[in-house]
Each structure stands twice: as C-alpha cells, then as structure tokens.
Amino acid sequence: MLSSIVRRRNPLGSLSPAIRRRLTGNCPGAATASPSPLKGGSAPTIERGGQEPATASVASRGSWLRRVAQSAGEYAETKRRLEQALQADGEGSYSLTTKLTNLYYDIMAEQMEHTWGESFHFARKATGESNRESIRRHEHFLFSMAQIRPRMKVLDVGCGIGGPARECVRMTGAHVTGLNISDYQLQRARDLTARCDMVDSITFVKGDFMAMPFVADSFDAVYAIEALAYAPSLVDAYHQVYRVLKPGGCFATYEICLTDKYNHDDPRHRKAAQDVAYGWGFGKLHHTSDCVEAARAAGFEQVTFAQDMAAHMGAGNDIPWYNDFSNELVDFSSFHRFLCSRVSRAAVESAFWAAERLGMAPKGSTEFQRIATAAVQGMVEGGKMGIFTPMFMVVAQKAHNSSPLEV
C-alpha cells in the first residue's frame, strides 16, 4: 500500500511513455541526466561491466575465501586495537574505525549480497510480504520523504553496491550519485548498474563522507541508509551533507542508533551494544537524540521528521526487522533462521576452528567468525529489548535562503 502511495506522490506521469517503461521495468534502461560535479571540475567515470558467467556463484565463493585469507586476521587485530583506544579515551581513532569498516565490508560484502540481495539494509515486514517487497517499501518511503522527483540530482551517501540507487532511478526518474569508500563495492555497483543499462542515470564516486569530494550546493536531495553510523562525528558528517545540498533541498536518512531504552549501567544492554558496534565495524553507536542534535548543529534549521520506525508496529508492519535472524537454540521455521540459530552458529564456529588448526582456513578466521556471530546475537537481543534500532529516520531541509558553504 505504501509503495503505491509513494508512486502517486511522484509525478512519473509527466514523463514520456518510453521513459516510464524504462523506469518501471526490470532494468532495460533508465532516464538520462548529467553527472554530479566533483571538486576540481572533473567528471567521474563509469566502468561498464558485462554479464556474469553462469559459474559466478562458484567463482565468488573462491574470491570470498581469498578475501577472508587476506583480511580476517587483520580485522581481529584492528578490532583489538580499537577496543583499547576506546577504553583509553572514550572516542577511539577515526583511522582505526575507517580501517575496521573497510576490512569488514571487504570480507562480508559478497556474503551480504547472497543473503540480502542488492540492498544491504533492514526493513519492517508485513505478513505475506516478501523480503524484496519489504526492502523496496522501506526505500520508497525514504525517497518520498526526501521529496525526490524526476530529473533531480540526488546523492546516496554510503551507497553499498547500488541497490537503493537503482531503485531510486526506477521509482523517481532522478539522477543518483553513489558515494562509497570501498573499492570492491564500487566495482560491484558499476557492474550491476551496467547490466541494468543505467550508467547514464547513476554515477559512482569513491570518497569519504567526512570529506565529500563535491562542490557546495551540488544536489537537490540527499539520502543515506544505515551508513552514517560509521561517522566518528555525526555533526561533521551532517555538515558535509548540508554543504553539498542545494538551498531548499531535503536530506532523509535511516540511522543505526541506540534508543532511549538503552541503559549503560545494564550489563546486558552494554554487551549487546558493544557486540553490534565491534562486529559491524563501528567505532561506537550513536543515540537517537544525537541525530536530531547533529542535524541542527550542522545548520539544518528545519528538522521536519524524527522517528524510530522500528518502534511503531501494527497492521502492515507486524513483523519486526530482526525476525529473519534467529537467536533461538535451534529454529526450523526457515532455512535462514536455522543457519542463524545458536546450534548452527556453534557448528560453523567449530568447523572454522578445526579448519584453521589443520591449516585449511586462514589464521584469524575463527576469531572473525566469533565477532560476526556475536554481532548477530547482539543485534537480535538489542532489537528484542528495544535498545537498538537500524531505522531511526531523520528528515531535514536546508533553508531556501542559505548562502553557499564551501570548505
């Protein structure tokens, strides 16, 4: 229902029938728009990628194992150093956080694609709704709140492998620029976008969202999905969004946060938060109140919406976002939930330990598996206790009379 409401609010009817068919079809094409300006005036290049071979899944497993071999031990060591830094000064090192994030996605991006599809984020789900349908509905609501319309120039901050960006083009007819710091994800995003024949409508740029490589007032709208939790300072990250957003433009984001129910003195709360933060590559978790305060401190005078979408369950949203990640001893309700059950995770960890001892798995594999397992457990427990949300939505608008802000 929400998807149809969102579509009616966006004037796709003003486009030609040919463009409308391309926007609403299964990636046969896309509307054309100019690329976003980079600092220095150079335009980013789009690398075209061909169809994947039929044996891609087999080849991809091999490439994933190679990345585990290259990065698992380094990830565990970086995590240990970051924990020490956090305990020493309460903040940690941005360089360590960035390194941990990059290592996490170098190792996990391919497996996340097998599990999640092309959009790496959570969504509430309705009874009878598929995972893909719930993901699209979640994204459509965000695009609607950002007031994205045809031919706008839009920035996707932390774009992953481009799933939301491609969905944004299909739904709205806008031109999207995806910003990401991961080489692997950017290349995968370009390949998938070329397969959908959307290279004229989506640009992918490598860059740090703490120092965006764009001139001021470049974009009509900006959105982010579970990305800015990696920022060491939300104020600085939101300031970058404010800088590149045109006057009158909207910024809409889903943030990963701790909620008002979180009690730092409760050891269960503290452990769940730490497991999620370290397991997912965060330096620390921000609080929902931090998001609103950061938006105002960054210059947004109008914060038009701020709400934890996970806290409002009911008709149409009756299945919680963490439902597919079981934390039971054993769960046979679905194959995926069985894989996430404690029995299955213990078996996988034992297999990694044995393989590492026999020299069949790279050093650090067992430790990384333990970190990933703890992150899943912390995520589910945090969701059940209501202390953790991956979908605190903030919508803010830049004043129409704002002066250009360059740094």
Is residue 252 predicted with pLDDT exceeding 60?
A: yes
Beta strands in 84-235 (DSSP E): 153-157, 175-180, 202-206, 219-225
Give the model confidence (pLDDT) of 358-370 as tens digits: 776 666 667 677 7
Q: Tell me the CB-side half-sphere exposure of residue 234, using CA atoms within 13 A.
A: 26
In this structure, what token pair is assigned to residue 361?
Answer: 């798995």
Mean pLDDT of 39-66: 41
Please give the mean pLDDT across all residues of the chain: 77
pLDDT band for position 176 (cuts 50, 70, 90): very high
Would strands 219-225 and 175-180 be described as parallel, antiparallel, or unpaired?
A: unpaired
Q: How far apart are CA 344 and CA 176, in angstroms?
A: 40
Q: Once rounded to an integer, what is the mean pLDDT over residues 357-384?
A: 78
Place of tokens 């790496």: 120
- pLDDT tops 80 at residue 291: yes
Amino acid 371: pLDDT: 76
- Taking the C-alpha atoms of residue 270 and residue 385, their distance in angstroms, rounded to an integer, is 12
Q: Looking at residue 45, what is its pLDDT?
A: 35
All domains in the chain, ordered by first residue:
61-92+323-385 (no CATH), 117-316+387-397 (3.40.50.150)
pLDDT at 73 over 70: no
DSSP string, 269-295: HHHHHHHHHHHTT-S-PEEHHHHHHHH
Q: Which helix (H) or strand (E) holds 255?
A: strand 245-258
How many angstroms separate the Cα of 58 from the Cα of each of 54, 61, 63, 193, 344?
9, 5, 9, 22, 23
Please give the structure tokens belonging to residue 242.
Answer: 């404010």
d(CA 319, CA 326): 13
Cβ-proximal residues to 284 (8 Å cutoff; 6+ apart), any chain: 86, 91, 92, 277
Higher pLDDT, 122 or 114: 122
